[in-house]
Amino acid sequence: MPTKSFNTNRTLRQVLVVHGVSVILVTAAILGFAGITPWQSAPLSGVLVAILVAMGSGFALYRSLYTLLNIESRLSQLAATSTNANDAAALVLEPATGNTSAEFGWNRLVEAGRVWRAVDELQKTLLASMSDRRRGTGPQLLDSLSEGVATVDPDGKITYANMALAAMCGQSNGEVLYGQLLADAFGVDADTAEKLRGDIDPAQTTFEWGVQSGAVERIFRGHRRPGRKNDGGAISSVWTIRDITQQKLADSMRDKFLATATHEFRTPLANIRAYVESLDMSDDLDPESRKRFYNVIQSESLRLSQLVDDLLDISRMQAGAMALDCRETDLGRLVEEISQKVEGEMREKNLDYRCELPPKYPKLLLDKGKLAAAIVNLLGNAAKYTPEGGRVTFRVDVNNQRIEFAITDTGIGISEEDLPRVFERFYRCNDDRVREITGSGLGLALTQEVARLHGGEVNVQSKLNEGSTFSITIPLDSTAA
């Protein structure tokens, strides 16, 4: 379950993620308060508040969460962190003496809080180290940087490398690299090595290069600055190097998203423009055609509006503020409506569409609109990625603990490489058959978030060229009406 944390710094977030906690980060108290409100009914496992937060007081936010929202009845963990140990301890202890049970996640959060304080101590040590620079503790300071730093002699051989640079080269300390060429330390190809030596353009100071690390290519950006001249007049250099793999990935995903979103908007817009123009230019249209044209304009407008909704949902999801509107739901009718929505698509592709439904449904508190959209999305995917004449089965299974909506198709399936990534936002499988079909890569991410917000999950089993089963499982205890 996701944990919402306020104004935690990146380090703390990374610590939580490493410990298996899914983190939603809010970086200002005002956003934090607005952000937490829709989560009142959501299955958050905890909230972590920093006492010092931007745009407001973490202390007030913490109090509001605890008292105004009566949030402790839903959250078993509410923790605070501060660089002032006394503040944090007082706030952490106060609600913990209530009736809330201390679960595993609580310990994780408290532990994370401790780590945060340890990071703060580290920062203080760094500051002290900086003031001691004149006394020769410079290398100690350099080892604390996340950026790689190296000095190279006029022959291009490393004379110093800090810890971060050693880690980039797969080493545990910098000394191992002394005497090696920088290019060799990174294991780059001959062309890149030539560039890094400055043989091609001695004036070039900024370089980017890739290093294959298993299946992943890591991208580095390095800046070279001339250092001191030695006795013979040759110049040594200082390198600062950063691993920009994640930044590059984010840039590439943003570009892909922009391209996909633009494409998705243009298609319904093309229809609307063409049909409006045709209505405008054709005075002799028969009433039946006129009606059909208006219907196309209406359905394409709805498609646009759905796309805008999806994009907004994704944006809310990224901000951690997607909310559920849970009401008692007639599941039988919901399932019927879902089937009606997709039957046309199934028929059009001549698919053998089957429903296996239970005789009776429990009454549950669900966000009908969002759950229906999630299931329709899975059924729509099954229809899209199953060749004509294939089979799609929609099965609903209920027992005492959970309800499961499973969609099985005999479609193109998903490769082992793509399977772990299909829920990533904007990800589309590396399969020509998928790329030929329009899609934003947002559907599965949204479906997974809707399931999570209901306390459930989405699972997938698939075999390339044989078919897939996607199932949404929702526990009954979190949704019992």
Q: Which residues bind other proteins (CB under 8 A)?
A: 259, 262-263, 266-267, 269-275, 277-278, 281-282, 296, 300, 436-438
Bridge partner list, 221 = 208, 242
Q: Which is nearer to other proteins, 131 or 267 (CB)?
A: 267
Nearest approach, Cβ of residue 268 and other proteins (Å): 9
CA distances to 115, 269, 293 from 279, rounded to whole Å, are 66, 15, 7
- Which tokens in the block code for residue 394? 């929609």
- Which tokens in the block code for residue 227? 């250092």
Long-range contacts made by residues 12-15, C-beta under 8 angstroms, separation at least 24? 12/48, 12/81, 12/112, 12/115, 12/116, 12/119, 15/112, 15/115, 15/116
Nearest approach, Cβ of residue 433 and other proteins (Å): 8
- CA proximity to 433, closest of 395, 468, 469: 468
Q: Which is nearer to other proteins, 181 or 307 (CB)?
A: 307
Q: Which is nearer to other proteins, 223 or 303 (CB)?
A: 303
Q: Which is nearer to other proteins, 54 or 274 (CB)?
A: 274
Helix axes 331-348, 368-384, angle to 10 degrees: 20
CA distances to 149, 202, 349, 376, 469 from 384, rounded to whole Å, are 51, 54, 9, 12, 14
Q: Which is nearer to other proteins, 59 or 275 (CB)?
A: 275
For strands 78-81 and 46-50, give the pairing.
parallel
Q: Which is nearer to other proteins, 151 or 271 (CB)?
A: 271
Report which residue type is found at 175. Answer: E
397 and 472 Cβ atoms separated by less than 8 Å:
no
Q: Which is nearer to other proteins, 239 or 426 (CB)?
A: 426
- Which tokens in the block code for residue 9? 């710094």
Number of CB atoms found within 10 A of residue 284's CB: 5
Q: Which is nearer to other proteins, 300 or 310 (CB)?
A: 300
Q: Which is nearer to other proteins, 387 or 420 (CB)?
A: 387
Q: Which is nearer to other proteins, 95 or 380 (CB)?
A: 380
Nearest approach, Cβ of residue 442 and other proteins (Å): 17
**Cα gap 420→314, rounded to integer Å:** 20
**Cα gap 157→167, rounded to integer Å:** 18
Nearest approach, Cβ of residue 286 and other proteins (Å): 12
- Which tokens in the block code for residue 177? 């690299």
Q: Which is nearer to other proteins, 201 or 436 (CB)?
A: 436
- CA proximity to 384, closest of 438, 445, 465: 438
450 and 442 Cβ atoms separated by less than 8 Å:
no
Nearest approach, Cβ of residue 308 and other proteins (Å): 16
DSSP assignment of 156-218 equals SBEEEE-HHHHHHTT-SSGGGGTTSBHHHHHT--HHHHHHHTTSS-TT--EEEEEEEETTEEE
Residue whose pair of structure tokens reads 């123009």 in the numeric block: 277
Residue whose pair of structure tokens reads 């409506």 in the numeric block: 337
Structural Rg of the chain based on CA atoms: 28
Nearest approach, Cβ of residue 247 and other proteins (Å): 20
Q: Which is nearer to other proteins, 278 or 415 (CB)?
A: 278
HSE value, Cβ hemisphere, 13 Å, CA-based, for 199: 11
448 and 422 Cβ atoms separated by less than 8 Å:
no
